[in-house]
Structure 1
Amino acid sequence: MIMTPFTTLFITFMSLFALVASLPLSARLQARDVFVPPVLYPHAGTVWYVGQYHNVTWETKDAPVNITNSKGMIYLRNNGLIEMNEELASGFNILDGRVEVHVPNVPAGNNYSIVLFGDSGNYSPIFTILA
C-alpha cells in the first residue's frame, strides 16, 4: 500500500492527538500565570557606584499561585538596550523579592535600568551609575 502525503500527515496528527489525550487531566489543565512584578529599587534618581553592592527589589504580593517560570535573572539595560553580557544575577526564586547584585564596571552616566526576568521582562526606572 502506498501512503499519500495526506495519509501520512493524518496518521501523524492522530498519533499526537492520542498521546495528548492519554495524559492525565490535571497535566493538561494545570493553569500557569505570567508574573510581571514591578521593580521597586533601583528607582528614578538612584545613583550607584561601580564596585558597590545593592539589593534589587521587586513587589511579590500579587504573585499568582502557579507561575510559569520562577527562576529569575537580572540584567543591566543601557540606553534602552539589554546588555546581555552584563548578567547581574541568575538562578534565584522570583518570589524572593530581592537579590544582591554587584555594580559592574560600565561607562558612567548613561541611562541605566534593571531588567528583571522570570516569566517576562520588567524594567526598573532609569537610574545612574558613576565610577
Structure 2
Amino acid sequence: MLRKNRPAFAIGEQPLGKIKGHDIEVYLDVGSPYPPMLRRAPYPASLENRKYIEQHINELLDMDVIRKIGHNEIVEITNPVLITGHDRKSRLCGDFRALNNYTKADRYPIPRIPHASDKRAKAKYIAKMDCMKGFHQTGVKPNSM
C-alpha cells in the first residue's frame, strides 16, 4: 500500500506529499468587482521578516502549494503574517478574516465520538496517518474561487 501511494508521503520538507481526491470546495460570494475591503496593503514588517516571508512564499511556490495570481484577479485577499511559536520558531500564516465574511458556510452534522468509536470497535486494523503540513497538503478545487 505504501509503495502504491508513494506520492502521498514526504520524506523531508520537500517534496511535500499531497492528499489526492479530497480537494476542498470553497464557495465565496464576493460579486464583481471585488469589494474594497478585500484589497489590502501588506502589513508592515521589518526587513528581516520581509526576507523570511519572501523566502517562505518562494518555497510554497516551488512545492506547488500556492500559485501566483494573474493581474486580472484579486490583488490582495490575505496578508502574510509571521507567528512566533513557543519554540521561538517563526511560521508563515495568512490573515483570512476579511475573506471569511464572504465564505458561504458548508453546513453538515459533525459525527458523534461514541458513534465513531463504535464503528471502529469491530475493526481488525486501525491506522492513523499524520500530515506533516496538513493545511498545505489538501488541495482546493479550481472552480472554488
TM-score (norm 1): 0.21
Q: Going by fraction, where is strand more abundant, 1 or 2?
A: 1
Select the structure of larger CA radius of gyration: 1
> Greater helix share, 1 or 2?
2
Q: Give the alignment's TM-score, normalised by structure 2.
A: 0.20
